Structure 1
Amino acid sequence: AATGLAGTASAAPATNAAPAAGTAPSPSPTPYQGWNTYYGLGGDFTADEVLDVADFLVSSGLADAGYDIVWLDGGWQADVPRGDDGLLQGDAERFPDGMAALADEIHDRGLRAGIYTDAGPYIPGTCGLGSGGHYQTDADTFAAWGYDAVKVDFLCGITADLDPQEAFTEFAQALRNNSSGRSMIFNLCNPVTSPDWGDYPQEQQSTWSWTYAPDIAESWRTYTDVGFVGQIQFKDVLRNFDANARHPEVAGPGRFSDPDYLGPELGMTTEEFRTQMSLWTVAAAPLVISSDPRTLSQESMDILLDEDVLAIDQDRLGVQGTRVGPAGTTETWTKPLADGSVAVALLNRGDRAAEIATTARDLGLRGRSFEVLDAWTDARTQSSGTIRAAVPAH
């Protein structure tokens, strides 16, 4: 996909989403960025590996570009995840100094720390740990340990036949009322979809989270996982993007639709990953790297670090982009920006290169002359109202 900025004197209207619940400043007024262990390291990672990646985020410039959350996914917990004292505990061999010490080490590098749990009760064989029945205790524990973000899954939640709205709302309240008074990002992660997961009522599925999550979470997953450990494919990126695009009206500053993680070099070509980055950016999605960033090529790093592209994602209006015109093999997506510009993504889903064009009028822009910036190439051109590009396949 080719992404551009079209300059104008008047901004396209933003969505009229309601303000987020509560009066405290949001811990994520723009989409958060970071790295998560799941797709790149799986569930058997160690403290040393996590800190080595943290060091790489700093040395590579990723942290300075905003990727500053080091997020532990499932796998950090002990085989028996709750100790005799009723508190969650990390794996003593892989995290010998404990989970609070790991958060301290991450903070010492100028980064933020994220952690993972499940909204359901712990059910061995179904999920690695569960907070069901212990929401306030676990929220207090994560805060006392010094974590800045919590991902809450729903694997044991769906097995226990919980109502996700009730469970996640209760968990959100526990996080907000933690005994340390710590501000923590809440990533609501219900990946349950039908028919992928089985036959579930819509109220239990990821595609229903938009009806309640914007009032209680900084982000909410909008579909099932975008891939598997070590594998993210372009067709599933498009699938998740399309599901994520269904309800842009509920997103805004401090609350963002989450189509899942970025997957460079886990099964996509460089062009396909550039397209994922373009689409996640125009969707105002959280940008969380799922690969092991220490292994990435310079091409992938350049995509992750592109300043113009990141500025679109991080725009303070926080508007989730929408499609202009019909769905099809070629599409135009647009996102209004705070300075009056409009970000435009020209998407080619097909297997052959195609020319894609749109007009300033279709984008809601007024005027006779426009400057167009290609965010990927940095080329600047003048336009009298047409935006056109030859877009490679995928």
Structure 2
Amino acid sequence: MRDLHNRISSPSAARRVTGILAAALLCATALAVPVTAAAATTTGTSDDATPQLANGLALTPPMGFNNWNSTNCRAEFNETMVEGIADIFVNKGLKAAGYQYVNLDDCWALPQRDSDGKLVPDPVRFPHGIKAVAAYVHAKGLKLGIYTSAGTKTCNDAGFPGALGHEYSDAQQFADWGVDYLKYDNCNNQGVDAVQRYTTMRDALAAASKSTGRPIVYSICEWGSNSPWTWASDVGNLWRTTGDISDNWSSMLSIFKQNAPLAPYAGPGHWNDPDMLEVGNGGMTDTEYRSHFSLWSIMAAPLLIGSDLRSATQATYDIIGNRDVIAVDQDSLGKQGTVVSSVDGRWVISKELADGSRAVVLFNETGRPQHIATTASAVGLPGRSAYKLRDLWQHKNYNTAGAVSATVPAHGTVLYRVSADRHWASYPPAVEAGVSEAPLVEAGTPVPLTTTVTNLGRTPAISGSVALGGPQGWRVKATSPTRTAALSTGRKLTTSWTVTAPAGTASGAYDLTLTAAYRSPTGDAARSELATIAYVVVPPPDGTSYVSDLTWMSATNGWGPVEKDTSVGESAAGDGHPITIGGTVYAKGLGAHALSTIEYYAGARCDTFSAQVGVDDEKGANGTVAFQVWADDALVASTGVLTNAEPAQALTADLTRAKTFRLVVTDGGDGGDSDHADWADAKITCAA
């Protein structure tokens, strides 16, 4: 919920960093060694292993809205906005899709309690009080959530009152007001044992519920600092497993990787919580947001909308309102998806569903299209000659002979529901449209591209054809056949093309669409589309150039945008400071924040990359990072873990024959924060 950077100096913030590190280390271990069922046994349970909480709530992951990511503590966070969100839930179909909680985050209260020690809603923000807002929300058939912290103050710099020492009084107020959901944060906790603090509030909520008949879902938000997955099923209905999410690809990916191994700990009434959804906040593409929503759903995560629904685009509503995907998250069996395989950024995750089918995510974390494949048997389905395959983003049904595969765009996800359906033959065969790569196009120069159309179905694909479309003015020409009479199971149509961008086309990523059209044996028309990209690139100049003077192909960053010739500022572009490592100031370079990847075009004509690398002095002793240089798909140079206490380290890499090179910053393996990483004096040397 909070920007940890603003609280890093406080004892509670320091504990939070420790927890984030622990979560990251757990992730690294768990991805290498699967978590066993025995390891999932919770601590502190009763003799019959029944969770002491047992409040009958959140039998599927909670769905709703939280205002923090969109409004923070700004003045617009008030009762009018909150009631307006409830209206939007109804009017935009979100309530009908399953969303029910409208949750207030920090800043709803006055900084001081009243003379009786009671919490006081801010009379400017909530002139009619929280009880009136709850009544409005309830009248819409929805539920209201509220926020406080398991400490003396909340996490906001203004220091609103926390609940430590006031648990029973605060819980009673919440129940009296009609609150249905409590998010309980971890700031200013005075070093009190986490299990003790969170258990006390559990008991306070139970007492308040008993006296009022108002059940309250209990969301533990201690950031994974004390491995809550090992004890919190006795205490809360959900628990944060990571630090705060931010609205960028690196943050979302890092949090996914920390939460994914924790599947054995989730179930009805007790869920792993990888934080709110960022869908629609603008820091990622729609493709990346679909991945975000798919991954949270396959992980049976709470779906708490974090974008401003008052100004959300239709694309945002299409993503968060996808009922096929929501059904995966809300499946009554209550299992979190498990990782089937993860190799070179190609992820397969499978989730068993109550009807015996499997939801299967094919997720591509890389910046290039990837063929990702598994089988029905590998995800746990019984042996059959064929299966029903439903594409949950395209909302279309197909049959498959057992292959579950797709060419997945960069940062994209395909989500299938696979079932042993005896009516499989009534659906057309599944066909995979694929491309050999995302072409690197120098404007005015044709480049080759190969596409494939593969029949995955048990029945043949009849009268197949393929078309490749590019931006207006581009020339896309087939140089081999684009049609076939029929494709039997496993057979493919391979087509060669040349792609030419008009002279003068600006560098950047451009959309290409591959469309395969065909008919089923019964004559039904079907098609398969693949949205991919081509990069228009500019060769680097001869001689030695500063990398910060070149145009990158793509850049992702942990916090804020990558900066040219300054350190990273974590927020808007241009808010950095002079690059400074070990007391030395550098005029040129790149300012990044782990996790970060910056990719450039080398055109197979560059020899070397060099830089002075390290943690920027502005972050004190907190940063721990490691630097990597990749030439195409090969790691060609790297450092060990560097900290702020170390001077700049020289890093040189061989780029011979590389078409592209990537500058990567990791968090040093500790999942920590404040990782301001500088590529100081970064240069490449190229020859004609």
TM over 0.5: yes
- 1:3 aligned residue: none
Which of 340, 343, 349 aligns to 2:365? It is 349
- Give the whole-Å Cα distance in 1 for the aligned partners of 2:123 and 2:285: 39
Q: Which amino acid aligns with 1:382?
A: N
Contact (CA 8 Å) 1:264, 1:296: kept in 2 or not? no
- Give the whole-Å Cα distance in 2 for the aligned partners of 1:125 and 1:391: 43
Q: CA deviation digits over 1:303-338, x for unaligned, max 9?
A: 111111111100001001111023531110010000
Which of 148, 173, 188 aligns to 1:141? It is 173
Q: CA deviation digits over 1:179-215, x for unaligned, max 9?
A: 32321100000126xxxxxxxxxxxx15x11111111
Which of 221, 233, 239 aligns to 2:240? It is 221
- Give the whole-Å Cα distance in 2 for the aligned partners of 1:122 and 1:330: 43
- 2:150 aligned residue: 119
Q: CA deviation digits over 1:273-292, x for unaligned, max 9?
A: 00001000000000000111
- Give the whole-Å Cα distance in 1 for the aligned partners of 2:355 and 2:228: 31
Q: Which amino acid aligns with 1:376?
A: W
- Give the whole-Å Cα distance in 2 for the aligned partners of 1:58 and 1:391: 34
- 2:267 aligned residue: 252
- 2:121 aligned residue: 90
Contact (CA 8 Å) 2:53, 2:234: kept in 1 or not? no
- 2:399 aligned residue: 382
- 2:319 aligned residue: 303
Contact (CA 8 Å) 2:279, 2:320: kept in 1 or not? no
Map 1:316-355 → 2, pairs under 5 A: 316-355=332-371
- Give the whole-Å Cα distance in 2 for the aligned partners of 1:24 and 1:164: 20
Q: Relative contact order (C-alpha < 8 Å, sep 6+): which is higher?
A: 1
Question: 1:119–1:215: structure 2 CA closer, same or farther, 3 Å change rule?
Answer: same
- 1:49 aligned residue: 81
Which of 125, 131, 136 aligns to 1:105? It is 136
- Give the whole-Å Cα distance in 2 for the aligned partners of 1:125 and 1:280: 30
Which of 193, 218, 225 aligns to 1:186? It is 218
- TM norm structure 2: 0.51
- 2:51 aligned residue: 21
- Kindly state the Cα deviation for residue 24 of structure 1 after the two structures are TM-superposed: 5.3
Which of 63, 66, 69 aligns to 2:98? It is 66
Contact (CA 8 Å) 1:316, 1:338: kept in 2 or not? yes
- Kindly state the Cα deviation for residue 22 of structure 1 after the two structures are TM-superposed: 4.3
Q: CA deviation digits over 1:203-230, x for unaligned, max 9?
A: xx15x11111111111000000002xxx
RMSD: 1.9
Worse overlay, 51-60 or 121-130: 121-130
Does residue 33 (structure 1) correspond to residue 63 (structure 2)? The answer is yes
Q: Secondary structure of the residue that 1:115 maps to in structure 2?
A: strand
Does residue 243 (structure 1) correspond to residue 258 (structure 2)? The answer is yes
Contact (CA 8 Å) 1:112, 1:148: kept in 2 or not? yes
Q: Which amino acid aligns with 2:244?
A: D
- Kindly state the Cα deviation for residue 377 of structure 1 after the two structures are TM-superposed: 0.3
- Give the whole-Å Cα distance in 2 for the aligned partners of 1:348 and 1:23: 38
Question: 1:20–1:76: structure 2 CA closer, same or farther, 3 Å change rule?
Answer: farther
- Kindly state the Cα deviation for residue 95 of structure 1 after the two structures are TM-superposed: 0.7
- Kindly state the Cα deviation for residue 74 of structure 1 after the two structures are TM-superposed: 0.4
Larger Rg: 2
Worse overlay, 21-30 or 339-348: 21-30
Q: CA deviation digits over 1:22-43, x for unaligned, max 9?
A: 4855221101100001001112
- Give the whole-Å Cα distance in 1 for the aligned partners of 2:391 and 2:138: 36
- Give the whole-Å Cα distance in 1 for the aligned partners of 2:58 and 2:50: 11
Q: Which amino acid aligns with 2:101?
A: I
- Give the whole-Å Cα distance in 1 for the aligned partners of 2:293 and 2:343: 20
- Kindly state the Cα deviation for residue 379 of structure 1 after the two structures are TM-superposed: 2.0
- Give the whole-Å Cα distance in 2 for the aligned partners of 1:332 and 1:307: 22
- Give the whole-Å Cα distance in 2 for the aligned partners of 1:177 and 1:145: 15
Question: 1:20–1:374: structure 2 CA closer, same or farther, 3 Å change rule?
Answer: farther
Q: Which amino acid aligns with 2:72?
A: G
- Kindly state the Cα deviation for residue 21 of structure 1 after the two structures are TM-superposed: 2.1
- Give the whole-Å Cα distance in 1 for the aligned partners of 2:370 and 2:273: 29
Q: Which amino acid aligns with 2:266?
A: A
- 1:165 aligned residue: 195
Structure 2 unpaired stretches of 5+ = 1-36, 42-48, 412-688
Q: Which amino acid aligns with 2:348?
A: T
Q: Which amino acid aligns with 1:333?
A: I
Worse overlay, 244-253 or 348-357: 244-253
- Give the whole-Å Cα distance in 1 for the aligned partners of 2:305 and 2:266: 21
- Give the whole-Å Cα distance in 2 for the aligned partners of 1:388 and 1:314: 24
Question: 1:386–1:353: structure 2 CA closer, same or farther, 3 Å change rule?
Answer: same
- TM norm structure 1: 0.88
- Kindly state the Cα deviation for residue 162 of structure 1 after the two structures are TM-superposed: 2.0
- Kindly state the Cα deviation for residue 170 of structure 1 after the two structures are TM-superposed: 1.1
- Give the whole-Å Cα distance in 1 for the aligned partners of 2:297 and 2:105: 23
- Give the whole-Å Cα distance in 2 for the aligned partners of 1:35 and 1:125: 23
- Kindly state the Cα deviation for residue 130 of structure 1 after the two structures are TM-superposed: 0.5
- Give the whole-Å Cα distance in 1 for the aligned partners of 2:344 and 2:235: 34
Worse overlay, 342-351 or 59-68: 59-68
Q: Secondary structure of the residue that 2:124 maps to in structure 1?
A: coil
- Give the whole-Å Cα distance in 2 for the aligned partners of 1:350 and 1:357: 15
Q: Which amino acid aligns with 1:302?
A: D
Q: Which amino acid aligns with 2:119?
A: L
Q: Which amino acid aligns with 2:289?
A: F
Contact (CA 8 Å) 1:20, 1:254: kept in 2 or not? no
Structure whose residues are more often strand by fraction: 2
- Kindly state the Cα deviation for residue 258 of structure 1 after the two structures are TM-superposed: 0.3
Contact (CA 8 Å) 1:71, 1:114: kept in 2 or not? yes
- Give the whole-Å Cα distance in 1 for the aligned partners of 2:389 and 2:326: 17
Q: Which amino acid aligns with 1:287?
A: L
- Kindly state the Cα deviation for residue 122 of structure 1 after the two structures are TM-superposed: 2.7
Q: Which amino acid aligns with 1:283?
A: M
Contact (CA 8 Å) 1:209, 1:220: kept in 2 or not? yes
Which of 213, 216, 231 aligns to 1:212? It is 231
Q: Which amino acid aligns with 1:168?
A: Y
- 2:111 aligned residue: 79
- Give the whole-Å Cα distance in 1 for the aligned partners of 2:122 and 2:181: 20
- Give the whole-Å Cα distance in 2 for the aligned partners of 1:270 and 1:20: 42
Structure whose residues are more often helix by fraction: 1
Q: Secondary structure of the residue that 1:280 maps to in structure 2?
A: helix
Question: 1:189–1:327: structure 2 CA closer, same or farther, 3 Å change rule?
Answer: farther
- 1:9 aligned residue: none
Which of 274, 289, 293 aligns to 1:273? It is 289
Q: CA deviation digits over 1:98-120, x for unaligned, max 9?
A: 11111111111211000000001
Q: Which amino acid aligns with 2:212?
A: S
